[in-house]
Structure 1
Amino acid sequence: MATLLQILLLLLSIINRPTTTAAAYLPPSMPEEQDQAPPPYNLSTLLYTLGFHDLSVAATSSAINTANLTTIFTPTDVSLRSCPYCSLPLLLLEHSIPGLYPFRLLSNLALGTKIETLASTPTTALCLTLTKSTPENSTIDPTLFVGGVEITRPDLFNDGTIIIHGIQGFLAHLSPFSCQIERMTSLSFPSQPASSPPSTVMRTLLKDAMIRLRMSDYTVLALLIQENLDQLLQLNSMTIFSVDDAGVFGDGHTYVSNLRFHIVPNLRLMALGLMNLPSGSVLPTMEPGETLVVTVAGGEGLLSPMRINNIKVTGTNIVFNEGIVVHGIAAPFPRVHRTTMGFWPDQTETINLGPTTTSDT
């Protein structure tokens, strides 16, 4: 009996012993690993995989932390070539914004919404402005633009941490006044506003343009704008055709005394609109009674570049903001008149024609 009693007591002690959970047998590092956030993306590899090869190179040294929620508006390689003077690392930051902005959310934001970018500094905020073109058919999504560049491949990548939208168009660095200016970016061939904006707004736009021109080998134009500031403040917007500094100090000195003939008033004609003008199109100038004529339309290829008054357009969107755009030309514009053989310079002036239609420059 004693032996049986001892066996029963032993069984009871085993049954009443506290049990341990299965979790106690798991490796101690497992719960910690489950609480950790996923590792950040290699942004360069991601962009390269999506086809943005040029920008992927800039992303190798980018300060963007992909562990944070981020939306990136990524320009195509072709778009990047429209801005040869641009810094690719800075462009990447200027087109990246904190937070997640899928296309549906962007579509519902108000026209003219400004979103601060990752390129902002403690002293200067830089913003992308959202604009849109709403189709007449309400069942079709609107065409959205950020910083004046169309979103052509929305929601190209979205995993809940990073959103990438593909964009295509003419690029430029953001203005230091991009978060302050209330006027919206023009998207197409602009019409003259019903009322003029305050001169303070145009003064800010002109100041911004002068700063950029001094950094883009167009210092002479910046000085001419300052000299003619009172007249330019009366405009709502403008398109300026300009010779660069080297051209002015070469054979283009007549540009200085003919600035008004090179400005299209109250019309901000961006590169796309300019290149779509057919041959024979007439543009007004600030010089009373004087006009410019598209003598060779854009889109004719490298062997037949666009010409206005027989002068080659050497660069587009050299500098632009919400009210001003500057395009480069090879020489000052001469006055021309139509003949049966085309447009020829007036015999009464001696303005240099610059490169001819058979020249390589």
Structure 2
Amino acid sequence: MPMAASCSHWWHCPFYFAMAVTLAVISIYASMPPRPNHSNPTAAAAIHNRLAFNASRALRNHGFTAMATILQIYPEQFLSSPQSTIFALQDAAISNLSAHPNAVKRLLQYHTSPSNLPIKELLKKPQGTCLPTLVPGKRIAMTKNDAKKGSVEINDVLIAHPDVFLDGAISIHGVLGPFSRPELHETGQDWEITEPPVCDSHCGILSNSSKISDEWTRIVRFLSSNGFVSFAIGLHSLLYGILQDYPDLNSATIFAPVEFVFVASSRPLLDAIVRFHILPKRLTFMELTSLPEKASLWTLLLNRNLVITSSASSKQVLAINGVKITAPDAFSSEHFVIHGISRAFSTETLFKIAE
């Protein structure tokens, strides 16, 4: 029955609207992977949960019930980086979404930027500034910035409720509508989000259809969807510059840490750290274990090498710079390989680069 007919009795409207929002939330939640069971949550996890709870309460108090529910049920989808800015969609916008649940989930991630941007910081940025999102390869643009009126538009959508929630490294703003709508392919599984032309024109190499660009896009998406979100964000934000400096980089070994707090660092330091985790040569786990201890590995960071500090033949554990490889050959193609590592490599010698 159409909504209009159902609401011929006005008192039924709130019920049908609430049902639509609930179904939208359920469909999004059902498409997400199971949450890990942490029987002994760490202090960081406790802080994470507290932020999610307080943020959800603030959203609910401002009328963003659906976003509040999604954030409280699955905060990891929005708070996966050390800093986050969430652009909250109104309940009506979420209830009207009829796309595939996976596409809807990605759309919500498109409304989250891995940086802390209260409205006062957004007002400082020039019009046309592009901001990264949690969707690899997709950015949002500040299409209007009126500091005198305190007005900001993202992708031509007004931030109607600035600073709904501010706490530490998290900012939440309410927006009038979606920044984009996902365009599904015929299969209903794959999808595309159209970003503003001003951002698309900055993509450079990533916009090309070359084999290398496609491969790097696959790598960023793999990292993002397999627990290496923060590192994926850092890599993606720097890829254009890396590929400009290394135009013939058609093979590589990437050491990806699960926790990568440096994504919020200054750009020079972040650039140095990301390059320090990449070798300009494909080396599988088996090939690495065949190398002798203290063997030097050239990285993309000039004059900074990694060193094999233990080998599988001697300790049954392979470590690079004292960091264990915990997920060998997590991703492998003809020219690229990714190894998951227990933590990021030490950066003590790299801080001078950012000075």
TM-score (structure 1 length as normaliser): 0.35
Q: Say which structure is richer in helix.
A: 2
TM-score (norm 2): 0.36
Higher CA-based Rg: 1
